[in-house]
Amino acid sequence: MANCTRREFLGTMAMAGIRPVEQASADWRDQGILHLERSPHARLKNVPVRAFTMAEGFWTSRRQVNVERSIPTLLELLEQHGVIDNFRRLSGRKQVPRRGPLYTDSDIYKWMEAVAFVLQSGDHPELRATFDRLTEEILAAQEPTGYLNTYYVEERRNLRFKEMHRGHELYCLGHLLQAAIAYYRATGSRRLLEGGIKFVNYLADNFGPTKDPLLAGHPCLEMALVELYRITGDRRHLDLAGYLLQGDGERLKLSPAQMVYLFSGKPFTSRMRLEGHAVRAMYACCGATDYYMETGQADYARTLETLWQDLVRGKMYITGGVGSRAQGEAFGDPYELPNRLAYTESCAAIGNMMWNWRLLAARGEARFADVLERALYNGVNSGMSLSGDLYCYRNPLELSGDPSDRIRNPWYDTTCCPPNLERILASLPGYFYGVSGEGLWVHLYHSGTLDWRLADGTRLRLIEQTRYPWEGRVELEVRPERPAEFTLFLRIPDWASGARLTVNGAAQAARAGEYAALRRTWQPGDRVVLDLPMAVRLTCANPLVAENTGKVAVERGPLVYCVEQLDHADVSIFELLLDPAAGFKEEFRPDLLGGVVMLKHRGRAWRTPLTQEPLYAPWPPPRRATRPVEVTLIPYYTFQNRGITAMRVWLPVAGS
Amino acid sequence: MANCTRREFLGTMAMAGIRPVEQASADWRDQGILHLERSPHARLKNVPVRAFTMAEGFWTSRRQVNVERSIPTLLELLEQHGVIDNFRRLSGRKQVPRRGPLYTDSDIYKWMEAVAFVLQSGDHPELRATFDRLTEEILAAQEPTGYLNTYYVEERRNLRFKEMHRGHELYCLGHLLQAAIAYYRATGSRRLLEGGIKFVNYLADNFGPTKDPLLAGHPCLEMALVELYRITGDRRHLDLAGYLLQGDGERLKLSPAQMVYLFSGKPFTSRMRLEGHAVRAMYACCGATDYYMETGQADYARTLETLWQDLVRGKMYITGGVGSRAQGEAFGDPYELPNRLAYTESCAAIGNMMWNWRLLAARGEARFADVLERALYNGVNSGMSLSGDLYCYRNPLELSGDPSDRIRNPWYDTTCCPPNLERILASLPGYFYGVSGEGLWVHLYHSGTLDWRLADGTRLRLIEQTRYPWEGRVELEVRPERPAEFTLFLRIPDWASGARLTVNGAAQAARAGEYAALRRTWQPGDRVVLDLPMAVRLTCANPLVAENTGKVAVERGPLVYCVEQLDHADVSIFELLLDPAAGFKEEFRPDLLGGVVMLKHRGRAWRTPLTQEPLYAPWPPPRRATRPVEVTLIPYYTFQNRGITAMRVWLPVAGS
């Protein structure tokens, strides 16, 4: 594009049959989670959240609880803990001391982003009014320069941008921008957005390679800036993101250890592995992928691939959770994936999902959607209770059941995870589809109606019926406004070997881990049926994962399962063995845990509890007798929704 | 004793053939690590450090390095980091700001205790002069009330005893007393001891159940107070220890979580498990055992047994290291013993050793000596480099070999471990023998000459020759001053099944895990020969230890072995398998690591590296081919003495 004029460029696109993107994106209503219409290196464009009306099903009830329970109760708690008062005291509306850790501003911004995404799916006057009221509270605390932060004021004023390794000033701004952008896309209102832009421009004026040094500290602003650029087209916004990703840690005298922990301060493209604080690392990867989609820089593409391989080859839990170490909330070494000690912050799983969403957009490869779905259905999904008002900070793969082990809580002093979970649920319809010049992409499956258009402007409705993830059948009715030739890309999950696919009854190729590309002239009313195999699967881990030797995880469809002690009155779940010769009985239980497929299995248990054996003994160990026991498995995401009890994902296999 | 007069009591003892203890202990020279002559509930008495002159052998070279290198270089570092200047600034000798964390006083005290123990083995004029000089520096900073602490002064003065959950004021005093007591027993000088007593009496005057509340915070003072009581006979000193062990956390409004972490603040006898900060827990257990030996309270005996069972049944590494969690430097759940993430602070292993030393004294049961020896030879021993000037804070059972993983360092800002290791090495001769009314006990084996006496005053020399732990033969020549009937108790380690024992060539019973009790009228020149089986042993862990399934540890004698990457040029140590069908070739290598028995083993390795396999895959896993490789094992305590390299203790077994 650098070598041709704008007019030439548009001409080229028209010749290639691609509609000039500006037209398509002129309206804020048409912008998705990511607005990629003008992003030259995005293979897939997003579909607006409002374009997919989700019908009854797995996510719909959770999304309803999110709006009816989670979002209102969290606002109350944010108020109670002074998060909004922190703004009011600056605008003089309240005389109170500042409260909470230095990053609390981001919590209300994230909550507002959740509200904005709710509004993208349909109006909600009360939430809209609350958003507007909060916007005024926030902007009233903004300084004339554009600076906005409730912590670095008064006696801490002279510390602004002086302790960026811990200050979270840019992190808060990043979340403000994300809220403002989501609200703009919900309502067309630029009120909060303009406030954010003012602060961004203040940064662009005062910081940069030839000005004062700036540090992300906690990455987040990078992706927000690229998204802002996608609205404003202001190159300074993209360049500031690039500057932050480049890292100015040397001028800031950051230590190597700090650059590891912060996942910022040195060139993103110099990274060889995921390390340091997991949420920081994931958000940095999000920003870098966004930056890549605008710039196409090859070194970014290489680094992103290196880091993604590092993730999936040794640093991701089977739940899609990441960041195994409590110390520094950090990535561990490759294969360092302890179950009970898993830190696996909800925000890190969300970061993983968001990153893979961006990689999917950039590349259009199913492997990214596989990771996204794994994280979404398991390690993200577990983070919010079925009641909607309790949240996990950690999402471990094993719990001792100790009464002190209260893993689901209504509030955390660092309450980043609750609003993060809320914004994901609210934005969820935006994750199901994509559009490219070739046609329409279906990434995830859920009943509902997509009402959108192809890249060439042809309107298209897609009516989907499924009981996924409880059942594997997905029925799609394709309704273009007129017969149209395009490809319908259907994702066949990597676990779905043996999937069957038909178009109007005629069998089609469907390979697990790929998008089935159905190219034809689609007639209104064409029917596609996908049958995903929902047999229970036993999965084992690489032996380099020290804790999982001789163990398996039980999976069914996209869901990882677990056992809880309260379903096992007569045996400790730490004494259980799965018997590979015995099958699994599946039963949909509408009354249980919001409605789940429960699994029953005729397993084994040690006849004499292992706790009666010594800690160390001469090798070889004694032959131990077992007895049959009934094992009950429930989806991992529902763990600890019936009280505090021991829980386990990885289970030993009898005879191994 | 409560029911008889002192005269009657002494009379009873004389009748029982026991010499009045006061006579025996009148001299500071006769006091051991613990001075238990008058402790009614101590089955065994200690032998003075100076009574055992260690000859050439395993510990002698390490002890020499300790005196010649470790102790001098650490003093330099303590000076460089301002630890002693912190005292000088209070006495006006230097105008400098206070430096270091709030507990630095304890570091110099612990260093001084190490010096004092060196002096108990023989004079060293330079170290003695340094000790005296430091004593003056310290006492010059003591306030007229007796209060002595370099942190809670000036602007922090009004925080004294106000933040005892973190303040370490009593912890520092505990170490001061331990240094002062050790120096008194080395030289007879009470100069520092009187300073300590002054502070103790200040505490006794101002704090207690009916006065202001006091909290150990970091247990340590308890055991020091009981030891002080053993010198002073002042009941207030014992009672203050009892008060601290009882815990006054309610009056101090400690939270339950604080009482867990601090292992103080609530009745010691209410504890049901080892939990919280591992060093705190171990030191509290030391103090409680000391308190029990004076008072004989049954609830203490019960709690100590409960906690010890908790330790050995699920919370102790095979190295004797304890405290698996980095978070809070804490005990984990039962069986939570990760290898690479093992926190296993040197001080915690030392605490474990010190606690078992006290339990051994109280009970005279070999199981305590077994734990003590395990910790001493492995998890304590590993803490100091062979060069004597690098120290481990953590002693994990696996290292990745990452260059950032610098586990041996000359200095830590929290430098508790280095002087702690130094005091243990210096005091070591005091751990080998014990005396009871029945006779002499041999707990550990090393060449040297014991010159001491039986409980009835009969002088006894014991001349020991052995190359233990490299060889299993121990030869003892018993030389009482005249023929005397008594029992010679020889510890047969729990691992030593098949040990052979003779007296003057006649076979004797010797059961592993017990003391062989050789009662006879010993003639000067009687010869005892013990042959401990030194065959390599494979040990497996309880399957509830998640990381060790299918793995074994290699042990020989009291030593745990490990593999290091630098001995394996052609294969990653994480791809190795031991072959139980193949044996181990033993070779003493005088040139290697200060002289060790190295083990060679014809093991296996995966033909295709596991790193090339995916992280998760369908069960069952593929059959993997292996190839033969030569495996080299070295004693665990020598790990990382040849540079940073990967290391592993637990190794998978082929075919399991």
Cβ of residue A538 closer than 8 Å to a chain B Cβ = yes
**One domain, residues A19 and A56:** no
Task: Report the half-sphere exposure of A317 (CA within 13 A, side-chain side).
Answer: 38
Q: How much of chain A is in helix, strand and coil states, percent to nearest 5?
A: 40, 20, 40
Q: How far is B435 from chain A (nearest CA, A)?
A: 31
Q: Which residues of B touch A551 (CB under 8 A)?
A: 549
Nearest to A596 by CA among A607, A585, A586: A586
Give residue A225's pLDDT: 98
Mean pLDDT of A38-63: 98
Q: In Å, how far is B613's CA from the nearest CA of chain A?
A: 7
Condensed to tens digits (0 to 9), the pLDDT of residues B331-377 reads: 999 999 999 999 999 999 999 999 999 999 999 999 999 999 999 99
Contact A415, A107 (CB under 8 A): yes
CB distance A539–B318 less than 8 Å? no
Domain co-membership, A187 together with A284: yes
Find the radius of gyration of the CA atoms of chain B: 25
- Does residue A611 share a domain with residue A490? no
A95-106 residue pLDDT tens: 999 999 999 999
Q: A547 and A523, same structural domain? A: no
Domain annotation covers residue B399: yes
A618 touches chain B (CB under 8 A): yes
Per the structure block, which two tokens stand in for A554?
């039980």
- Nearest-angstrom CA–CA distance, A95 and A86: 10
Q: Contact B581/A615 with Cβ under 8 angstroms?
A: no
The DSSP letter of residue A623 is P
Statement to judge: residues B553 and B483 lie in one domain: no
Question: B590-628: per-residue pLDDT in tens?
Answer: 999 999 999 999 999 999 999 999 999 999 999 999 999
Q: Name which of B545, B558, B63 is nearest B314 in CA terms.
A: B545
Closest alpha carbon within chain A to B650: A546
For chain B, percent of residues with pLDDT exceeding 70: 96
Q: Does residue B614 sit at the A interface (CB-CB below 8 Å)?
A: yes
Q: How far apart are CA A561 and CA A571, in angstroms?
A: 19
Residue B209 makes CB contacts below 8 A (sequence gap 6+) with: B243, B246, B248
In whole angstroms, what is the distance from residue A547 CA to residue A650 CA?
9
Is A245 a domain residue? yes
- Determine, for residues A333 and B400 on separate chains, whether the beta-carbon distance falls below 8 Å: yes
Indicate the residue among B431, B462, B491 that finishes a domain: B431
Task: Say which amino acid occupies A199.
Answer: F
The DSSP result for B168-198, as a single string, is -HHHHHHHHHHHHHHHHHHH---HHHHHHHH
A645 in any annotated domain: yes
Cβ neighbors of B11 (< 8 A, separation 6 or more) are none
Q: Which of B205, B202, B197 is nearest to B176 (CA)?
A: B197
Out of A542, A574, A620, closest to residue B614 by CB: A542
**Residue at B310 is within a domain:** yes
Is B312 an interface residue toward A (CB < 8 Å)? yes
Q: What is the pLDDT of residue A25?
A: 44
Residue whose entry in the numeric block shows the structure tokens 């630029």: A190
Distance from CA of B552 to the nearest CA of A (A): 7
**Residues B148-164 pLDDT 10s:** 999 999 999 999 999 99
User: Residue A341 is nearest to which of B338, B551, B616, comparing CB atoms?
Assistant: B338
Q: Is B485 helix (H, G, I), strand (E, B) or coil?
A: strand
Residue B656: per-residue pLDDT: 60
Mean pLDDT of chain B: 95
pLDDT of A24 over the 70 cut: no
Q: Is the pTM of this model over 0.90?
A: yes
Q: To which H or E segment does residue B295 belong? A: helix B278-295
Distance CA B423, CA B49 (A): 12
Contact check, Cβ <8 Å, B617/A540:
yes
* Helix H or strand E segment including A577: strand A576-577
3-state secondary structure at position B571:
coil
Q: Is the Cβ pair B621, A550 closer than 8 Å?
A: no
Question: How far apart, in Å, are the Cα atoms of B83 and each of A297, B87, B103, B329?
Answer: 53, 8, 10, 24
Record: contact B539-A616, CB cut-off 8 A: yes
Closest CA to B138 of B199, B186, B97: B199
User: Which chain B residue has the Cα nearest residue A404?
Assistant: B257
Other C-beta atoms within 10 Å of A411: how many? Answer: 15
pLDDT above 60: residue A18: no
Residue A634 is classified by DSSP as E
Which residue, of A367, A394, A412, is where some domain finishes?
Answer: A367
Give residue B405's pLDDT band: very low, low, confident or very high (50, 70, 90).
Answer: confident
In whole angstroms, what is the distance from residue B226 CA to residue B34 CA?
A: 10
Tell me the pLDDT band of B641, cut-offs 50, 70 and 90.
very high
Q: CA of B561, closest CA in chain A: separation in Å?
A: 15
Q: Are residues B16 and B114 in the same domain?
A: no
Beta bridge partners of B433: B442
- Per-residue DSSP letter, A471: S
Q: Could you tell me which chain A residue has the CA closest to the CA of B618?
A: A539
Tell me the CATH number at A444: 2.60.40
Distance, CA of B196 to CA of B178 (rounded, Å):
9
Q: Residue B399, Cβ neighbours under 10 Å: how many?
A: 23
Non-local (6+) Cβ contacts of B72 within 8 A are none
Contacts of A506 (CB under 8 A, 6+ apart): none
Contact B615 A313 (CB under 8 A): yes
CA A89 – CA B87 distance, rounded (Å): 45
Give me the domain span that covers residue B443: 432-531
Residue A208: count of CB within 10 angstroms of its CB: 17
Q: How confident is the model at residue A656 (pLDDT cuts 50, 70, 90)?
A: low
Q: What average pLDDT is seen over chain A?
A: 95
**Phi and psi torsions of A584, nearest 5°:** -125, 130
The helix/strand/coil state of A606 is strand
**Cα-Cα-Cα-Cα dihedral sign, residues B631, B635, B641, B645:** positive
In terms of Cα–Cα distance, which of A41, A75, B294 is closest to A66?
A: A75
Q: Find the mean pLDDT for residues B276-282.
A: 98
Q: Would you place residue B194 in the very low, low, confident or very high pLDDT band (cuts 50, 70, 90)?
A: very high
Shared domain for B265 and B400, answered yes or no, is yes
Shared domain for B117 and B185, answered yes or no, is: yes
Are B245 and B274 contained in the same domain?
A: yes
**Res B26: pLDDT:** 57
Report the 10 Å Cβ neighbour count for B243. 22
Yes or no, beta carbons of B327 and A326 under 8 Å apart: yes
DSSP B430: G
CA dist., res. B418 & res. A456, Å (int): 72
DSSP classification of residue B41: T
Alpha carbon B189 to chain centroid distance?
26
Q: Does the CA dihedral A150-A151-A153-A158 come out positive or negative?
A: negative
Average pLDDT over residues B432-445: 98
Q: Does B336 touch chain A (CB under 8 A)?
A: yes
pLDDT for B18 equals 35
Tell whether A487 and A362 lie within a shared domain.
no
Indicate the pLDDT class of residue A15, thresholds 50, 70 and 90: very low
Backbone angles phi, psi at A293, to 5 degrees: -65, -25
Q: Which H helix or E strand runs over B441?
A: strand B439-442
The DSSP-derived string for A400-461 is ---TT---EES--SS--HHHHHHHHHHHGGGGSEEEETTEEEE-S--SEEEEEE-TTS-EEE
Rg (CA), chain A: 25
A381 belongs to a structural domain: no
Contact status of B108 with chain A (Cβ, < 8 Å): no
State the Cα angle at B319 between B313 and B321, rounded to 5°.
Answer: 75
Based on the domain organization, do B422 and B458 belong to the same domain? no
For residues B378-407, average pLDDT:
95
Chain A touched by B507 (CB under 8 Å): no
Residue A316, chain B, CB below 8 Å: the answer is yes
Interface predicted TM-score of the whole assembly (ipTM), two decimals: 0.94
Give the containing element (helix H, strand E) for A135. Answer: helix A125-139
**B403 in contact with A at a CB cutoff of 8 Å?**
no
User: From the CB of residue B585, how many other CB atoms can be counted at a distance below 10 Å?
Assistant: 12
The whole-number pLDDT of residue B22 equals 39
Q: Which pLDDT value is given to residue A22?
A: 40
Residue A178 lies in a domain: yes
Pairing of strands B616-618, B626-635: unpaired
For the beta carbon of residue A211, count every other beta carbon within 10 angstroms: 12
Q: What's the CA gap between B73 and B385, in Å, rounded?
A: 13
Q: Does the structure show a pLDDT above 60 at A12?
A: no
pLDDT tens digits, A427-454 = 999 999 999 999 999 999 999 999 999 9
pLDDT at residue B307, rounded to an integer: 98
Domain stop point among B497, B531, B565: B531
A645 & A541 share domain: yes
Q: Tell me which residues of chain A, numbers 627 to 656, contact chain B at a CB-CB cutoff of 8 Å.
A: 652-653
Instruction: Please say whether the beta carbons of A221 and A174 come within 8 A.
Output: yes
**What percent of chain A clears pLDDT 90, i.e. is strictly above it?**
95
**Rounded distance between C-alpha atoms, residue A490 and residue A496, angstroms:** 12
pLDDT digits (tens, 9 = 90+) for A388-416: 999 999 999 999 999 888 999 999 999 99
For the segment A633-654, the average pLDDT, to the nearest whole number, is 97
B80, B9, B8: which is closest to B38 by C-alpha?
B9
Decide if A563 contacts A629 (C-beta within 8 A).
no
Residue B37 covered by a domain: no
Give dist(CA B331, CA B316) in Å, integer. Answer: 9
User: Into how many domains does chain B fold?
Assistant: 4
Look at residue B308 and tell me whether its pLDDT is greater than 60: yes
Backbone angles phi, psi at A547, to 5 degrees: -80, -15
Q: Which residue has the higher pLDDT, B3 or B370?
A: B370
In a domain, A328, yes or no: no
B539 to chain A nearest CA, in Å? 4
d(CA B249, CA B164): 10
Using 50, 70 and 90 to split pLDDT, how confident is the model at B186? very high
DSSP string of B613-654, one letter each residue: S-SEEESSPPP--EEEEEEEEEEGGGTTSSSS--EES-EEBT
